[in-house]
Chains A and B, each alone.
Chain A
Amino acid sequence: MSIDLQTVKKIASLSRISVTDAEAEAMVPELNNILGWVEQLGEVDVTGVQPMTAVIPNHQRLRDDVVTDGDVRDKVLANAPQAEHGFFAVPKVIE
């Protein structure tokens, strides 16, 4: 299963990474090399094997349903590229 230029551009778009045509073209053989190599997993007989979900058996804990944090708005916004009026600011989304 090899991927072409269109597929690389689609993956880049799904990844929200803008790429130039030249960058996308360079990635075609690179990604094909890696994907071609990982495809050897297809030869492993996994009949009846459950996919791993937890590497060390551990139960999921429940905690009491109480507020444990909050009142840290300024800390949350401290590293925002653009914060206005106590909010994260982004380019206009709805005209």
Chain B
Amino acid sequence: MGELTDLTVAEIRDGFRAGDFSAREVAEGFNANVAAAKALNAFIVETPEKALAAADAADKARAAGEPLGALSGVPIGMKDLFCTEGTQTTAASHMLEGFVPTYESTVSGKLWSAGAGMLGKLNLDQFAMGSSNETSYFGNVISPWRRNDGGNAALAPGGSSGGSSSAISARLCPAATGTDTGGSIRQPAAFTGISGIKPTYGRCSRWGIVAFASSLDQAGPMARTVRDNAILLEVMSGFDPRDSTSLDLPVPQWEANLSSDLKGKTVGIPKEYRPDGLNAEISAMWDRGIEWLKDAGAQVVEVSLPHTKYALPTYYIIAPAEASSNLARYDGVRYGQRDLPDGAGLQDMYAATRAAGFGPEVKRRIMIGTYVLSAGFYDAYYTQAQKVRALIARDFELAFEKCDLLLTPTAPSAAFALGEKQADPLAMYLNDVFTVPASLAGLPAMAVPGGLDSAGLPIGLQVIGKALDEQTVLNASLAIEERAGFTARPDKWW
């Protein structure tokens, strides 16, 4: 066995149970990796003491022969969008700098109850708004990957869960939480050569997660293998009466039912996802993915999702509209920053607080949202977008009459360099072109690595499933994982 920090979640769990190593050794290994990787800026807050405390509790329970949790002995990273009791939670904003929740989010609480330990709070795009991790108040996250051209250009780890993706691919944690509103788990996973699944909307409770766009926000795991994602997702999912959109359904045994045998399954290939000018390497990877799924026993058919081109503009009405409403809570009164200019009244205090506390992209989205919801424009923008959203969801329903799952690229390119797209918000938004439609329809979707492009950077595939059918999504992703044999990892430079 090599380094403990090279192990997957399943290997740590099983090796710890078998007595091959102690949980403390594992936690110490990851703590050391975290401490040595400041150059990646993946963490906003490091909590090595919490990782050690959970490890010691796991070691003690094992020694006493007590029952062990599903994640006993496994340390993880927590995206800093999940409220953690007693540990600062910022959503990577100045607005929430210094905010120390007095309660625990449902999802993080489930993970701790299952025995997981917290290595720290992971950096992200501010309020989860961004696709490159360049909007964080606490600085850019750097991808551990570099192009093979000998240059040292700092690459984007994707966003918004870029701290999570960077940390996992650099072996700072075996797994982490992410959240996905329009692709924030899947696109960073694709950029860094790891896997991540956004489950069906409602599987994971949103309670205690800093809200961005409530009809789209879903938590999910990120890890290096499909099995690890299944393990974490089982722990994170489940009914929560404190979230009114939480699904009151039993949590399936996704890990136990993993199977890469796709006999009897039909894979749909949506023709609208292959526009003229699609990156040739992305297109070739997609073709390879189709062959892999055929090899796993699946039938392949072409399907049509005719409203695909309208998904992004629909998203950029609905998500800002919901954000403008959700972020109204940051008023300088109850929590977070307050900016009170001399002699200012209450209204001035609100405006000054929000001007100082929000970054440019957050302000942009709040203002777009405010505009599309304002009197006289609501129907033209917001109602129209909700109607088109219904058509996009219907496209998927009709496609799923002919197939069981869809295979598409995850992102239109491999990772780009930091700064490359920041000047043009629209160019940045286009990164989510393949991930947003499934978000609008609430469907489970998973990113899984397929290989490296000619620049030596990971590119991946996306599997989209029917609502509540995470099992098929995981199984098809496993079939890809087995055939891709993706073992590449970034050379350590940090």
Binding site for B on A (CB under 8 A): 1, 3, 7-8, 11-19, 27, 30-31, 33-35, 37-42, 44, 46, 49-56, 58, 60-61, 63, 72, 75-76, 78-82, 88, 90-93
Contacts and interface: CB of A to CB of B under 8 A. Distances in A.
Nearest to A92: B345
Nearest to B241: A63
A75 B102 contact: yes
B211 interface: no
A61 B333 contact: no
A76 B333 CA distance: 12
B100 to A, nearest CB: 7
Contacts of B367: 8, 11-12, 15, 17, 27, 31
Given A17-B366, A56-B442, A44 B371 contact: no
B304 interface: no
Contacts of B247: 56, 58
B142 interface: no
Given A11-B367, A46-B388, A91-B346, A17 B358 contact: yes
A50 B387 contact: yes
B87 to A, nearest CB: 13
Interface string B89-113: 0000000001111110000000000
Contacts of A15: 324, 354, 363, 366-367, 370
Nearest to A63: B241
Contacts of B244: 60-61
Interface string B392-417: 01000000000000000000000000
B441 interface: yes
Contacts of B371: 3, 7, 11, 31, 35
6 contacts: A12-B367, A50-B390, A55-B216, A60-B244, A90-B346, A91-B346
B146 interface: no
B386 A51 contact: yes
B30 interface: no
The contact size tier of chain B is: 35 or more
Nearest to A59: B248
Nearest to A3: B371
A40 B309 CA distance: 10
B331 interface: yes
A53 B382 CA distance: 12
B490 interface: no
Interface stretch (B35-43, B258-266, B312-320): B312-320
Contacts of A44: 307, 310, 384, 387-388, 391
Given A38-B381, A56-B442, A30 B364 contact: yes
Given A31-B371, A51-B390, A81-B336, 4 more contacts: A30-B364, A31-B364, A50-B390, A55-B393
A82 B350 CA distance: 14
B425 A30 contact: yes
A20 B99 CA distance: 28
A75 B334 CA distance: 11
A46 B391 contact: yes
Contacts of A19: 355
Sorted from nearest, which 8 A-B pairs have the closest CB atoms?
A51-B386, A55-B442, A81-B338, A79-B335, A18-B351, A75-B102, A46-B387, A38-B313
A93 B467 contact: no
